[in-house]
């Protein structure tokens, strides 16, 4: 459903930008115009001339050969007019965002075996804090962000678009009138990016070993099968409570997220320049990037649950990129509460400064479902061997599996 809605939204935006009405175009004409936008979108995605530095494109951080995620291994990517600035959040993968629903403050379980009367709280929306719903609106954020592409305004972007190799495609799709108007041309380019990101073979191919397993075309190894069982076990990994692993009743492959926003209390990443200020905290849904819920203390510390598809290709984990290893990320879930000294720094008096990136007034928002919970020194829900099993299973979610046991990290 989410994919269909987004495709139709892209088609509608295309028709409106062309100055026509859907009834005035045949289906073939609509598809032809969408193909023009798709091709233009591919060019825009790879074009660094749209940035103030002339060196930063969408593809610089969202690398096609790495599931449209970063390859540098940095917690945050450099940007700005001279590539000397950075934001405070890790770059997410752009794969499997086609199904992300619009932001809603009230999520109800659609699992046929769940309780659909329970309000699960905020869910959906793009970006870590869910503040926009359309891919075109999401793309506008880094384009104008002073710490990312840092474009000075529509006039500068439109000038670059008109000089680009794909300018003819944009002109064909919209006509001379809108092509000559700066803001209309920028909006068209953002819609082109949206159409490009709806290319199934690239952005949601469902070509992992696990997809083949669900279709009866692959067999999990013993370790991968143990990892799947632990992933689903509510008393062990309990990962599937947020990262749905089962096919929908209509046969739709699992997205490995419920799109909910959740507070995990990951450690503060002191490699992020903004965190050098002890008064600065990235609180997700309640700010600073999102401002409409800044008065909602119960929303502070909540970030959207990402899909785990292609997670083994990630170089950084969680919203602040604090961990650089997948085993480390899984182990955090298992031992956050039973061994906090493993993750959090010590104060001058020697005590552990737990949840050092979430101010005390908001710690009631922390998720305590298994494998979280327990007291310091308790046996964790997962031991090291079980953590390794889950990591092995997560490796089956990488797209490009070719039946030999290995995946090709192409993102498509």
Residue 287 CB coordination number (10 Å) = 18
State yes or no: pLDDT of 85 exceeds 90: yes
What's the alpha-carbon Rg for the chain, to the nearest Å?
22
pLDDT of 108: 74
State yes or no: pLDDT of 189 exceeds 80: yes
Higher pLDDT, 250 or 115: 250
For residue range 196-225, what is the model confidence (pLDDT) as tens digits? 999 999 999 999 999 999 999 999 999 999
Nearest-angstrom CA–CA distance, 225 and 392: 9
For residues 110 and 104, is the Cβ–Cβ distance under 8 A? no
Strand partners, 303: 262
Out of 19-28, 329-338, 396-405, least confident range: 19-28
Degrees to nearest 5, angle at CA 42 with 53 and 170? 90
pLDDT band at 178 (very low <50, low <70, confident <90, very high): confident
State yes or no: pLDDT of 120 exceeds 80: no
For residue range 354-406, what is the model confidence (pLDDT) as tens digits? 999 999 999 999 999 999 999 999 999 999 999 999 999 999 999 999 986 56
Residue 236 CB coordination number (10 Å) = 19
Q: Supply 102's token pair.
A: 């619009």
β-strand pairing of 78-79 with 303-304: unpaired
Tokens 């233009």 — which residue? 40
Closest CA to 384 of 327, 308, 322, 316: 327
Strand partners, 401: 407
pLDDT of 110: 59
What are the φ/ψ torsions at residue 69 (nearest 5 degrees)?
-125, 175
Nearest-angstrom CA–CA distance, 105 and 14: 29
Q: Supply 339's token pair.
A: 């061994």
pLDDT of 412: 45
Whole-model pTM over 0.85:
yes
pLDDT band at 160 (very low <50, low <70, confident <90, very high): very high
State yes or no: pLDDT of 23 exceeds 80: no
Q: What is the mean pLDDT of residues 266-294?
A: 97
- HEC assignment per residue over the chain: CHHHHHHHHHHHHHHHHCCCCHHHCCHHHHHHHHHHHHHHHHHHHCCHHHCCCCCCCHHHHCEHHHCCECCCCCCCCEECCCCCEECCCCCCCCCCCCCCCCCECCCECCCCCCCCCCECCCECCECCCCCECCHHHHHHHHHHCCCCCCCCCHHHHHHHHHHCCCHHHHHHHHCHHHHCCHHHHHHHHHHHHHHHCCCHHHHCCCCCHHHHHHCCCCCCCHHHHHHHHHHHCCCCCCHHHCCCCCCCCCCCCCCCCCCEEEECCCCCCCCCHHHHCCCCCCCECCCCCCCCCCCCHHHCCEEECCCCCCHHHCCCECCCCCECCHHHHHHHHHHCCCCHHHCCCECCCCCECCCCCCCHHHHHHECCCCCCCCCCCCCCCCCHHHHHHHHHHHHHHCCCECCCCCECCCCC
pLDDT of 249: 87
What are the φ/ψ torsions at residue 51 (nearest 5 degrees)?
-90, 160
For residues 264 and 366, is the Cβ–Cβ distance under 8 A? yes
Nearest-angstrom CA–CA distance, 398 and 410: 9
pLDDT of 25: 77
> What mean pLDDT value characterizes the chain?
92
Out of 10-14, 178-182, 322-326, least confident range: 10-14
Close Cβ partners of 68 (under 8 Å, ≥ 6 residues apart): 62, 93, 94, 95, 202, 203, 411
Close Cβ partners of 58 (under 8 Å, ≥ 6 residues apart): 44, 45, 46, 139, 142, 193
Length in residues, the chain = 412
pLDDT band at 2 (very low <50, low <70, confident <90, very high): very low
Q: Supply 354's token pair.
A: 């737990």
pLDDT band at 242 (very low <50, low <70, confident <90, very high): very high
What are the φ/ψ torsions at residue 325 (nearest 5 degrees)?
-145, 135
């Amino acid at each position: 459903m989410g994919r269909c809605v987004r495709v139709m939204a892209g088609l509608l935006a295309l028709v409106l930008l062309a100055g026509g009405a859907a009834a005035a175009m045949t289906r073939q004409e609509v598809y032809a115009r969408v193909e023009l936008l798709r091709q233009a979108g591919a060019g825009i995605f790879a074009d660094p001339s749209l940035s103030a530095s002339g060196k930063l494109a969408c593809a610089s951080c969202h690398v096609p050969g790495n599931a449209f995620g970063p390859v540098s291994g940095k917690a945050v990517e450099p940007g700005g007019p001279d590539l000397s600035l950075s934001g405070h959040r890790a770059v997410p993968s752009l794969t499997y965002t086609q199904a992300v629903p619009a932001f809603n403050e009230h999520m109800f379980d659609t699992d046929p075996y769940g309780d659909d009367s329970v309000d699960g709280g905020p869910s959906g929306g793009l970006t870590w804090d869910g503040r926009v719903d359309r891919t075109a609106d999401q793309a506008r954020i880094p384009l104008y962000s002073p710490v990312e592409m840092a474009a000075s305004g529509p006039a500068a972007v439109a000038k670059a678009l008109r000089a680009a190799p794909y300018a003819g495609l944009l002109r064909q799709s919209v006509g001379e009138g809108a092509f000559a108007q700066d803001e209309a041309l920028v909006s068209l380019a953002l819609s082109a990016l949206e159409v490009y990101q709806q290319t199934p073979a690239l952005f949601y191919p469902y070509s992992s070993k696990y997809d083949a397993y669900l279709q009866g075309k692959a067999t999990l190894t013993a370790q991968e099968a143990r990892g799947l069982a632990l992933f689903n076990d509510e008393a062990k990994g309990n990962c599937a409570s947020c990262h749905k692993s089962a096919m929908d009743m209509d046969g739709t492959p699992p997205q490995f997220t419920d799109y909910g926003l959740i507070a995990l209390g990951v450690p503060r990443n002191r490699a992020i320049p903004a965190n050098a200020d002890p008064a600065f905290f990235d609180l997700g849904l309640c700010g600073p990037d999102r401002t409409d819920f800044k008065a909602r203390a119960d929303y502070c510390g909540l970030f959207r649950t990402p899909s785990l598809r292609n997670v083994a290709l990630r170089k950084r984990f969680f919203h602040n990129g604090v961990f650089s290893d997948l085993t480390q990320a899984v182990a955090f879930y298992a031992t956050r509460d039973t061994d906090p000294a493993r993750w959090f720094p010590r104060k001058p008096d020697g005590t552990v400064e737990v949840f050092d990136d979430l101010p005390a007034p908001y710690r009631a928002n922390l998720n305590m479902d298994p494998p979280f919970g327990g007291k310091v020194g308790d046996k964790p829900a997962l031991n090291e061997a079980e953590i390794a099993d889950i990591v092995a299973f997560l490796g089956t979610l990488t797209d490009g599996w070719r039946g030999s046991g290995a995946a090709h990290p192409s993102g498509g």
